[in-house]
Amino acid sequence: MKKLRIGELFCGPGGIALGAELANKASRQYLFEHAWAVDNHSETVETYIANISGATDQSVICADVRDTKVKYLAQISGIEGFAYGFPCNDFSLVGEHKGIDGHFGPLYTFGLPVLDHFNPLFFVAENVGGIRSANEGKAFYKILDDLSRAGKGYSITPHLYKFEEYGVPQARHRVIMVGFRKDLNLHFQPPAPTHVTRFVSSKEAIMVPPIKKGAPNHELTKQHPRVVERLKFIRPGENAWTANLPAHLRLNVAGAQISQIYKRLDPDKPSYTVTGSGGGGTHVYHWEENRALTNRERARLQTFPDDFIFQGSKEAVRRQIGMAVPPAGAQIIFEAIAKTLEGKTYNSIKSNLE
């Protein structure tokens, strides 16, 4: 089998890397392997090293990408594939939506020197759906243009994936750009959805099979009595704004009424989007019990297996889970990448962004 070494920037706890590992089961010609990874949060790096095959203290670097030199990465290992989910804060539909002019927007450019230096066979870039409309759509075109011109040039297929349509028990919509080096004369097609007629529900994901008692990252969050009282009036699928709350339990918040505030899961539907940041009321709430989900339950909604153990404090783990790419979603994309390289046909669809 031909080994395809993968380098990552903004690697997170390892959602993409784990997805690539899982994809190896479907290919007889190619084997995706970890080469190196960079992230600027120490607990996240610890999680990656503890769970991803081949990851070591030397290959996984805790550093700001702005301070990371490509020549140093080259000393660790060459790569045939490159993946990065550059920070999405400025492209999110929640907030000021600064796009490419924001603090995080330009961070996509740090992938360009990697492509220039290594000229990998392919790359995978991930971001939120809001990237399409940032700066009146100009940011997205700029990013695509810059990536296509990097290295020897890349043929890029961007696509808005609705991960619940691929078996992920969560309504998580992300733009993923897959680029193949132009001299390979390969064109990537998005894999066809597998769960259009039957989604995996949040209850099924969390309860089947039951999480074992004492499982890692399964500690309950201490709920304030006022939160417990408020949750008693919120039915499955409702939030603090749509529920019929008594006056003394209503939220006195100016500005946007974010739909995820104290929102209970609907047990018969995929979860709403699991996030890694935010204050009270954004922790994802159980459909029946008057509490927030545990991190292990949140990890299930993100398709991390129970033996994937997150490192760090409870809040650090919550952040890692919410910021990650669902491994099951990444697996489907890497399986399609392997089949594209192999010249095999697979069930695919036309890009919805081309």
Element (H, E) at 45: helix 42-51
Q: In DSSP terms, which residues pair with 177 in a beta bridge?
A: 125, 158
- Residue 160 three-state SS: strand
- 11, 20, 88, 332: the active-site residue: 88
Q: In DSSP terms, which residues pair with 34 in a beta bridge?
A: 6
Query: Using CA atoms, how far apart are residues 311 and 225, in angstroms rounded to an integer?
Result: 29
Residue 255 has pLDDT above 50, yes or no: yes
Query: Using CA atoms, how far apart are residues 319 and 14, in angstroms rounded to an integer?
Result: 13
Mean pLDDT of all residues belonging to the chain: 91
Task: Sort 127 into a burial class: Cβ within 10 Å, 0-12 / 13-18 / 19+.
Answer: buried
Query: Using CA atoms, how far apart are residues 123 and 86, in angstroms rounded to an integer?
Result: 13
Q: What is the pTM of this model?
A: 0.92
pLDDT in tens, 291-300: 999 999 999 9
Domain boundaries, the chain: 2-196+324-342
Q: Tokens standing for 217?
A: 């990252």
Q: What angle, rounded to 10 degrees, do the helices at 327-342 and 15-23 form?
A: 50
Q: Tokens standing for 228?
A: 């417990």
Is the separation of the CB atoms in 326 and 162 below 8 Å?
Answer: no
- Can 88 be counted among the known catalytic residues? yes
Question: If one looks up domain 2-196+324-342 in CATH, what number appears?
Answer: 3.40.50.150
pLDDT in tens, 268-281: 999 999 998 766 78
pLDDT in tens, 132-157: 666 566 778 888 999 999 999 999 99
Residue 207 has pLDDT above 80, yes or no: yes
